[in-house]
Amino acid sequence: MATTYKQAGVDIEAGDALVERIKPHAAKTRRSEVVSGVGGFGGLFAIPPGKYKEPILVSGTDGVGTKLKLAFAMDLHETVGIDLVAMSVNDVLTSGAEPLFFLDYFATARLDVERAEKVIAGVAKGCELSGCTLLGGETAELPGFYVPGEYELAGFAVGIVERSKIIDGKSIAPGDRVLGLASSGLHSNGFSLARRILEDAKLKLTDSVEGISLGKTLLEPTRIYVKDILALMGEVNVKGLAHITGSGLPGNVPRCIPDGLRAVLKESAWKRPAIFDVLQRLGEVERMEMFNTFNMGIGMTVVLAPGDVKQAIEVLGKRGITAWDIGQIEAGKPGAEAEAVVEP
């Protein structure tokens, strides 16, 4: 009997069926600049005509990390696609760029069409939230490569910004203030530590601690700040932006400020979600280990002049984003690398 590709573990018909299921989700994200989207060998997208004098493309790529392990354990796949989009578009945003389109990569040992559709529907939702198009992607069925029942996700975003409006932090000076925008929880970083803490404490994702449903809280999708920051940029002069991901505030805030400066942040200036306190107590995690691993309730920081703080907080508040004045920019040692410290 002749051996077939399907017998070897790859079901081309299932892959074709998934593409057809994806198309309605992608259609909801379609921007007017799309020339050709899902289904072809490549997605075609036109740079918006007449809108830019010197358009600069900004790209970013990321994954969801071990947060996927929680989705597998709870069999909840609707939100990790939002996480996937968020991690890339929030990065692209820090240059002042508007995300234009997004591509996804979904790989698994054996394709479960219904589950894959849930994941990609989440990707499409993330694209809707950030105003970009789901332009295409890749579904890979790799038998023998991944653990059965699990999958991997990667995403790629491309945005655009006028050269003269690039946010690069060069105008940041001592005395400028740092705003912290509330996160929705852990976002998509620190889950290896979070999972280890729960494992050592012999807790299940279906358990609740101090009224907090662990699985539901930890799977809360990453907040997408794109439309809110773009709106803020139209109202005040945003000097610097940092997406608070792996390595937390100390590791990410310095990426948006010039050398020779330091950001001094006050932990008492904002209210962090209770899940961070629960994890810290359960794992007996040291304070700076928490700040170097998790976002601690701040998903994005904005650097601006002191006179713009009040208006910025009001603009963001009207859009449903809580923001706090969490610190200031100070002079550091001449020539020293930029740094950020978090004081109690």
Distance CA 96, CA 240 (A): 9
Pairing between β-strand 261-266 and β-strand 339-343 as defined by DSSP bridges: parallel
Q: Which residue has the tokens 């994954």?
A: 63
CB-based burial of residue 53 (10 Å sphere; 0-12 exposed, 13-18 middle, 19+ buried)? Answer: exposed
Q: Which strands, in side-by-side order, build the sheet including 177-182? A: 240-243, 298-304, 177-182, 323-331, 261-266, 339-343
Those residues with Cβ within 8 angstroms of residue 112's Cβ, 6 or more apart along the chain or in another chain: none
Distance CA 301, CA 289 (A): 20
Q: How many CA atoms are closer than 13 Å to the CA of 310, on its beta-carbon side?
A: 1
Partners of 15 in the β-ladder: none
Predicted local distance difference test score (pLDDT) of residue 8: 67
Predicted local distance difference test score (pLDDT) of residue 5: 63
Those residues with Cβ within 8 angstroms of residue 313's Cβ, 6 or more apart along the chain or in another chain: 179, 323, 324, 325
Q: Is the distance from CB of 107 to CB of 68 less than 8 angstroms?
A: no
Alpha carbon separation from 5 to 17, 110, 281 (Å, rounded): 17, 12, 51
- In 238-320, at which residue ranges do the beta strands (DSSP E only) sit? 240-243, 261-266, 298-304
Predicted local distance difference test score (pLDDT) of residue 2: 65
Predicted local distance difference test score (pLDDT) of residue 283: 98
Distance CA 69, CA 257 (A): 35
Distance CA 21, CA 104 (A): 15
Query: For every one of its 344 residues, what pLDDT tens digit does the chain have, with 9 covering 90 and above?
Result: 566 767 767 677 777 788 788 888 888 999 988 998 777 788 899 998 889 999 999 999 999 999 999 999 999 999 999 999 999 999 999 999 999 999 999 999 999 999 999 999 999 999 999 999 999 999 999 999 999 999 999 999 999 999 999 999 999 999 999 999 999 999 999 999 999 999 999 999 999 999 999 999 999 999 999 999 999 999 999 999 999 999 999 999 999 999 999 999 999 999 999 999 999 999 999 999 999 999 999 999 999 999 999 999 999 999 999 999 999 999 998 889 999 999 99
Structural domains of the chain, ranges and CATH numbers in brackets = 12-165 (3.30.1330.10), 177-343 (3.90.650.10)
Predicted local distance difference test score (pLDDT) of residue 26: 84
DSSP 100-117: EEEEEEEEESS--HHHHH
Angle between helices 226-233 and 113-130 (to 10 degrees): 10
Q: What are phi and psi of 37, to 5 degrees?
A: -120, -135
Q: Is the distance from CB of 338 to CB of 259 less than 8 angstroms?
A: yes
Residues in the chain: 344
**Which residue type sits at 191?**
F
Rama region for 200: left / alpha / beta (φ>0; ψ in -120 to 50; rest): alpha
Q: What is the SS3 assignment for 77?
A: coil
Q: Is the distance from CB of 178 to CB of 303 less than 8 angstroms?
A: yes
Per-residue HEC secondary structure of 134-150 comes to EEEEEEEECCCCCCCCC
Those residues with Cβ within 8 angstroms of residue 69's Cβ, 6 or more apart along the chain or in another chain: 191, 195
Q: What is the pTM of this model?
A: 0.95
Predicted local distance difference test score (pLDDT) of residue 53: 96
